[in-house]
């Protein structure tokens, strides 16, 4: 089972997205609403408990392996267990199932704000914790065992975990004004994870990171072969190997689905690294291409009608 997590600002836009096809079904949750409009209105209940939270939306997609046969009731049970183990045991949520393709999967739309305390669910190490929870679910329900990204992502040290837990305890009990800050390494890992969600080209991934203030360094031989990749944020540099196997030059392609073609991309990467100001240009060009594809798709649907 593969899981992807995102945090966002607007419930209505996400709910409209997961409802966009008639075959997509609202199969469960703990809310009364039966459609995007009603659910978005209902999510305001938790928003009002903590209006200062900008990113109150928690979006998870869980995809089953092709050989796994999961019916509606089992999907609901899996979603509930996943949320409980991720700390969403007192939060509003709705579950949508998309089963009209070969990729049977669910979307969970939840509020990050707890109904009992009005506080935001702690998200430290959420990618690592999610992988651990999914492996447990696979074992509990005898599902296909997916190779976990945990093995490709360097785990935090014991000292870092203890610090986070101590600061979280202090924050929850009013002894600290701000929630614990994530370590630089985890910030980098999560930034790269987010930048690669849609399997971008390597130049686009680098541009996205540069726009976020992350410096990327990549070396090439005279023949255009990679000599490695490293990342720098807040004046702290990490090699891909230091972050984990998924963040090396080859690991980005193998584990995170980044698209790299030497003849097409090597020169663009060199220019980006030597002149980060080009990042915004590449990012905007990609957005324009996506908008054009969207227009063409909408136009073709119009002809079909």
List, for residues 262-293, the tens digit of each pLDDT value: 888 988 999 999 998 888 888 888 888 888 88
User: Does some domain include residue 263?
Assistant: yes
Cβ proximity of 81 and 26 under 8 Å: no
Asked if residue 11 and residue 103 are part of one domain, the reply reads yes
Asked if residue 140 and residue 6 are part of one domain, the reply reads yes
What band does 192 get if pLDDT is binned at 50, 70 and 90?
Answer: very high
| pLDDT tops 90 at residue 78 | yes
Cβ proximity of 226 and 249 under 8 Å: yes
User: Does some domain include residue 62?
Assistant: yes
Asked if residue 128 and residue 195 are part of one domain, the reply reads no
Residues near 42 by Cβ (< 8 Å), separated by ≥ 6? 31, 32, 33, 92
User: Does some domain include residue 39?
Assistant: yes
Mean pLDDT over 184-211 rounds to 89
User: Does some domain include residue 293?
Assistant: yes
Domain boundary among 119, 146, 173: 146
Stated as kind and residue range, the H or E segment containing 77 is helix 72-85
- Which one has a higher pLDDT value, 294 or 54? 54
Asked if residue 193 and residue 123 are part of one domain, the reply reads no
CATH for 132 = 3.30.930.30
**What pLDDT was estimated at residue 207?**
94
What does the alpha-carbon distance between residue 191 and residue 193 come to, in Å, rounded to a whole number? 5
**What pLDDT was estimated at residue 235?**
84
pLDDT in tens, 83-142: 999 999 999 999 999 876 667 889 999 999 999 999 999 887 787 788 889 989 999 999
User: Does some domain include residue 50?
Assistant: yes
Closest CA to 268 of 212, 233, 216: 216
Domain boundaries, position 260: 187-304
| pLDDT tops 60 at residue 149 | no
**What pLDDT was estimated at residue 146?**
67
**What pLDDT was estimated at residue 156?**
60
pTM: 0.54
Cβ proximity of 6 and 55 under 8 Å: no
User: Does some domain include residue 238?
Assistant: yes
Cβ proximity of 152 and 251 under 8 Å: yes
What does the alpha-carbon distance between residue 301 and residue 304 come to, in Å, rounded to a whole number? 5
At 302, list the tokens: 């119009």
247 phi, psi to nearest 5 deg: -110, 5
Asked if residue 206 and residue 118 are part of one domain, the reply reads no
**Mean pLDDT estimate for the chain:** 86
- Flag the least confident range among 25-29, 142-146, 159-163, 260-264: 159-163
**What pLDDT was estimated at residue 27?**
94
What does the alpha-carbon distance between residue 231 and residue 192 come to, in Å, rounded to a whole number? 10
Cα–chain-centroid distance for residue 11?
A: 16
What does the alpha-carbon distance between residue 256 and residue 249 come to, in Å, rounded to a whole number? 11
User: Does some domain include residue 213?
Assistant: yes
**HSE toward the beta carbon, residue 30, CA cutoff 13 A:** 15
User: Does some domain include residue 153?
Assistant: no
Asked if residue 218 and residue 139 are part of one domain, the reply reads no
- Flag the least confident range among 58-67, 118-127, 174-183, 237-246: 174-183
What does the alpha-carbon distance between residue 94 and residue 40 come to, in Å, rounded to a whole number? 10
Q: Are strands 226-233 and 2-8 parallel, antiparallel or unpaired?
A: unpaired
Please count the structural domains in the chain.
Answer: 2
Asked if residue 129 and residue 212 are part of one domain, the reply reads no
**What pLDDT was estimated at residue 210?**
94
């Amino acid at each position: 089972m593969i899981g992807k997590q995102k945090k966002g600002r607007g419930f209505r836009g996400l709910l409209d997205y997961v409802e966009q096809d008639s075959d997509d079904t609202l199969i469960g949750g703990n809310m009364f609403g039966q459609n995007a409009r009603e659910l978005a209105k209902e999510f305001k209940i938790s928003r009002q408990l903590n209006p200062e939270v900008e990113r109150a939306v928690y979006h998870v997609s869980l995809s089953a392996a092709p050989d796994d046969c999961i019916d509606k009731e089992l999907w609901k049970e899996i979603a509930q267990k996943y949320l409980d183990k991720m700390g969403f045991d007192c939060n509003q949520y709705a579950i949508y199932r998309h089963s009209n393709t070969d990729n049977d999967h669910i979307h969970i739309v939840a509020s990050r704000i707890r109904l009992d305390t009005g506080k935001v669910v702690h998200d430290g190490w959420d990618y690592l914790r999610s992988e651990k929870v999914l492996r447990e679910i696979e074992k509990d329900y005898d599902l296909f065992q997916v190779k976990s990204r945990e093995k490709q992502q360097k785990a935090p040290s014991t000292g870092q975990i203890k610090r986070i837990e101590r600061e979280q305890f202090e924050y929850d009990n009013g002894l600290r004004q701000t929630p614990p800050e994530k370590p630089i390494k985890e910030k980098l890992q999560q930034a790269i994870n987010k930048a690669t969600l849609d399997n971008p080209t390597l130049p686009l991934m680098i541009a996205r990171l540069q726009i976020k203030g992350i410096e990327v360094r990549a070396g090439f031989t005279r023949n255009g072969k990679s000599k490695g990749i490293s990342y720098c944020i807040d004046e702290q540099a990490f090699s891909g190997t230091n972050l984990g196997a998924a963040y090396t030059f080859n690991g980005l392609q193998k584990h995170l689905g980044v698209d790299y073609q030497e003849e097409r991309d090597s020169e663009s990467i060199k220019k980006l690294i030597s002149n980060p100001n080009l990042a915004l240009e590449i990012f905007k060009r990609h957005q324009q291409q996506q908008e054009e594809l969207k227009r063409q798709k909408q136009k073709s649907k119009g002809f079909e009608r």
